[in-house]
Chain A
Amino acid sequence: MLLSARRTCGAVAAWAGRRPFWGGVLLIASGAEIALTPVIGTGVIIHTGVGGYAGFLLGSFLGAMGAGLWFVPEQRFVLAVLAVMAALSAFVLSNLGGFLLGSLLAIGGAALGFAWMPREPRQED
């Protein structure tokens, strides 16, 4: 039981090590935050954004970019640039990007994804 748990843990860590894991986590978190800010608001909140739809669209877009970093890490440069664009649009269009937090998370996540490199096999010569 314990052994299998440890093995699962190790597998997850290995899986995370093969991709820009934390960049993806930050992007997905930022997407959720931007998309959900209008929903979980107190009801008296002023929602900036084109009718609030922008929050859902940009939030899900950022989430998709995060998932993309996980499952298509080869495309990380394009994904990261697109994510930064979405984060900046969200800042203007949707509650200041989830009250700034969402946009900052997304930019941080995109930069992490942009900077990630696959671990190169150790060179011996």
Chain B
Amino acid sequence: MRWKRFWLMLAPSLAALAVLAAGMAQGAVPASFAVSGRQIKVSAAKLSGRGVGIVPGVVRSMDGRQHVVLHLSLRSAQVYGLCQSAEVDTPLGPFTVRLGTRDREKPSQVSHLSISATSLGADVGLGSVVLNRDAGVLGAESVLKGKRGDYGVGVLTFSARNVTADAWMVMGGSFMVDGLSVAIGRDVRPCF
């Protein structure tokens, strides 16, 4: 072994990796996202926050198909009773994976939350709504930007109850969850 050569190879490679990682964190290097070929269910008992944008968009799943979705981006939110579930196929048959908060009373703090949903249901109270705002200016700080000239909805403050969504993807800039519970099993109930 020539250990000098080892470091000669390792150091620049790791440096390049670090540059890529830093660039990706700043969005300079585009990471193309594909979602898994199945939909997930997302629900929350109560959701309140500031800075919502809803814009149309397209996500790609693993099998190469494209799905038309609504990109929801929330700048900051408090979520009560967060739940997310998906069905997965295993060699032993279909199982349900479910992530959720154990305590429905404690809020989870979320910032820069993005949801790509095909359908969305909630009882909502909105403040300062602008319908048909240009989609290009909405969700500017999230990965899922709208296209300039597209239809968009901008909302300043909002609170919602009994939120349910069929989604392709959920991204959180940061999630602070107290008491996360993860379960997988055949008899685990989906969120809704």
Binding site for B on A (CB under 8 A): 38, 41-52, 80, 84, 87-88, 91-93, 96, 103-104, 107-108, 110-112, 114-117
Contact = CB atoms under 8 A, between A and B. Distances in A.
Contacts of B2: 115-117
B17 A88 contact: yes
Given A44-B86, A44-B88, A88-B13, 9 more contacts: A38-B36, A44-B40, A46-B35, A47-B36, A47-B62, A48-B34, A51-B63, A51-B64, A87-B13
A20 to B, nearest CB: 9
Contacts of A42: 86, 88, 97, 184
Interface of B: 1-10, 13-14, 16-17, 20-21, 24, 29, 31-36, 38, 40, 60, 62-64, 84, 86-89, 97, 99, 169, 171, 184
Contacts of A80: 9
B170 to A, nearest CB: 9
Where chain B touches its partner, the secondary structure class is: mixed
B17 A114 contact: no
B96 to A, nearest CB: 10
Contacts of B7: 111
Given A43-B97, A91-B17, A91-B21, A115 B36 contact: no
8 contacts: A43-B87, A43-B89, A44-B88, A88-B20, A96-B24, A107-B14, A111-B13, A115-B8
B62 A115 contact: no
